[in-house]
Amino acid sequence: MRQIIPSVLALVSVFLCSFLPAQDKQKPIKLSKKNHQSLQQYYLPGIAHKNLASIVHGANQIIRRNDSEGFQKVESYLKSKRIPTISTALPEARIRLASMNVKDGLPHPGIRELEIVVPKLLKQIQNVQQTVEQFSLAQERIKPAENWRAYERQFWTSHVLKNRIQNSQTALKWIRQSIEQLKADKKAIKKLNDKQSALVNANYKTKLNEIKQIETRLAEGDIELRIYRMEDAVRTLADAKSSALKKLDAAFAIEQDAVVLNDAIRKHKGNNTWFRRPNLRDQSVAATVNELIIAGRKHGGNWQEKAALLKVAIHWWQRGRYGFGPEKNGLLKSKTALMNQREMFRLIMPLKMPNRQDVQSQKVAFYPLRHLHNWAIEYSKPLPKGGDSYTRVEGRVSLFNGFV
């Protein structure tokens, strides 16, 4: 009898609940036929295959066809399907194509597209600007690093930020060119509301000059730190008690910094300009650099050749071990690589290079040993998600989602 009572109560509760009002279920979002066609024909294939031009064509059609309410409906539809929204994918696609100087066949952005894209780009540019201004090498006074690994971290960060600055300049140039094209249509300009007019008439040249100024500050900070590293390298190579590992780092630093510093000095002399940083204003810095190079090579001996072979081998091994492309689980480059040499060389790499212990303990995302599977797609494992733990290390790249 005691076993029957709970069963009866359960049946009664189910019966009573059937009379309660059902919870409102989220209705599926229905799109117009033309919006659906633009998604199916251009936007979705572009997202799936990383075809930037296709993304731009599909997004441009949808923006021109819809008012704000209709556009938000399309955005909500994409979110519900867990597909990158137009407001996220379009700015990146536009700037990537602009960095490759791809213009032919692309639709010109109208004012409504600029209303979506420009604020996104300006926010990213502002973030880049703030990050660079807070970085140690952009300060007026800098100090030598504590050790070789600290030097490498600062130069790596400098490399990442230089790429972001280049992307910011590309974005600002694209904005200015797009607005000039828009201004050519006098009738369209007269129809702009106050908000749109403010966007069109904003002073983007001033922002571009600001970005160029912080680029100069960062570049000169990089140069000053390289001189400090060369001084440390000469001392390390001259010290008979230095370990073999330290001498390898020092010998490699001499050759690497020699190329960078000589190119920078030659460039400034050719332009009849000189450095602005307090520690670099004296033109005797050129003679100082030359003396350091001579001393470093004198003490370096055979270590320079050994260091070059080792560092180059590590670089290419890391590209093969941890680098992956944007398609087919990282096994393939995108179609844009066929149009641009920089895209062919570019890979996606971890922001922090994993070590053996990290991978074994799964402190970082797992990287498939693809070379053990002969790069066979059917055996490859899913790639880790992109984001703040990854960065592209070669060439100009995206401003968004943790990529640099």
pLDDT one-digit tens code per residue, 256-271: 999 999 999 988 876 6
Within a domain: residue 172? yes
In this structure, the answer to whether residues 120 and 179 fall within a common structural domain is yes
In this structure, the answer to whether residues 172 and 260 fall within a common structural domain is yes
Within a domain: residue 47? yes
pLDDT of residue 352: 61
- Token pair recorded at residue 190: 């007269």
Could you list the residue range(s) of the whole structural domain that residue 55 is in? 31-84
Within a domain: residue 352? yes
pLDDT of residue 381: 43
Grade residue 186 by pLDDT with cuts at 50, 70 and 90: confident
Higher-pLDDT residue of 328, 178: 178
Higher-pLDDT residue of 315, 173: 173
15-64 pLDDT, tens per residue? 444 444 444 456 788 889 999 999 999 999 998 887 889 999 999 999 99
Most confident region among 20-24, 339-343, 367-371 by mean pLDDT: 339-343
Grade residue 382 by pLDDT with cuts at 50, 70 and 90: very low
pLDDT for residue 280 is more than 60: yes
Mean pLDDT in residue range 306-335: 75
In this structure, the answer to whether residues 161 and 55 fall within a common structural domain is no
Q: Which range has the worst mean pLDDT, 93-107, 209-223, 286-300? A: 93-107
pLDDT of residue 274: 83
Which one of 268, 287, 314 terminates a domain? 314
In this structure, the answer to whether residues 214 and 346 fall within a common structural domain is no
In this structure, the answer to whether residues 229 and 93 fall within a common structural domain is yes
In this structure, the answer to whether residues 302 and 336 fall within a common structural domain is no
Which one of 284, 314, 344 terminates a domain? 314
In this structure, the answer to whether residues 337 and 220 fall within a common structural domain is no
Number of domains in the chain: 3
Within a domain: residue 234? yes
In this structure, the answer to whether residues 298 and 327 fall within a common structural domain is no
Within a domain: residue 185? yes
Within a domain: residue 397? no
Which one of 265, 297, 314 terminates a domain? 314
Higher-pLDDT residue of 78, 378: 78
Mean pLDDT in residue range 70-80: 93
Within a domain: residue 51? yes
Within a domain: residue 165? yes
**Percentage of the chain with pLDDT > 70?**
74
In this structure, the answer to whether residues 135 and 47 fall within a common structural domain is no
Mean pLDDT in residue range 52-79: 93
pLDDT for residue 3 is more than 60: no
**What backbone torsions phi and psi does residue 317 show, to the nearest 5 degrees?**
-65, -40
pLDDT of residue 386: 41
pLDDT of residue 269: 79
pLDDT of residue 358: 54
In this structure, the answer to whether residues 145 and 225 fall within a common structural domain is yes
In this structure, the answer to whether residues 280 and 371 fall within a common structural domain is no
Grade residue 165 by pLDDT with cuts at 50, 70 and 90: very high
**Which one-letter amino acid corresponds to residue 26?**
Q
pLDDT of residue 396: 31
pLDDT of residue 355: 61
pLDDT of residue 141: 87
In this structure, the answer to whether residues 111 and 242 fall within a common structural domain is yes
